[in-house]
Amino acid sequence: MRLARWEPWVRDVLAASPAVAEVAPFAEAGIDHKPCGTTIRFATGAQVYVQWVRASGAGDDHSVPEEPVTGTPPEPVTVPDLPTSGRLPMRQVEQHLAALINNAGSPEIKSVTGKAAAGEDGPRPYGLEVQFHSGHTNYGLFLHTLPAGAKPTQEGEFQQRKEI
């Protein structure tokens, strides 16, 4: 799923979570230096800004309209609950977002994985990897992880907290 279709689709999926208070595209949040992304504000007031990037599969020609490739959607998984007050552990936030996308039942999606759940570590341990039956992958890079009341800054990009 190319990003032009992906971002509005994933925004609708994430907005359906009772733990999510608001979602918006980067443009509505005033972010114009990143081409595609979604801001997510949780019921706690904490926010995650997800920048979406795409790795094209073999033979993907952007000069022609996209032809969706479908297959069996991933098996549903348990969606971890998120607290409605206090701090949110980022590992739990990542798992929550991955489960929401996984469980949306899109026949274009082959698998959804969180970076932390896959054992990634380091300065940017959180993010999402969505593999498609077409052979391409959309990556959700956590541009900002902000506790309630915090504002994003360019200097703070990709400075991932363990809790928000």
Give the position of tokens 């994003």: 152
Per-domain residue ranges for the chain? 3-60+69-156
CA atoms of 164 and 71, how far apart (whole Å): 36
Residue-by-residue pLDDT tens, the chain, 164 positions: 999 999 999 999 999 999 999 999 999 999 999 999 999 999 999 999 999 999 987 777 878 888 999 999 999 999 999 998 999 999 999 999 999 999 999 999 999 999 998 787 777 899 999 999 999 999 999 999 999 999 999 899 999 999 99
From the list 50, 25, 30, the residue with the least C-alpha distance to 145 is 50
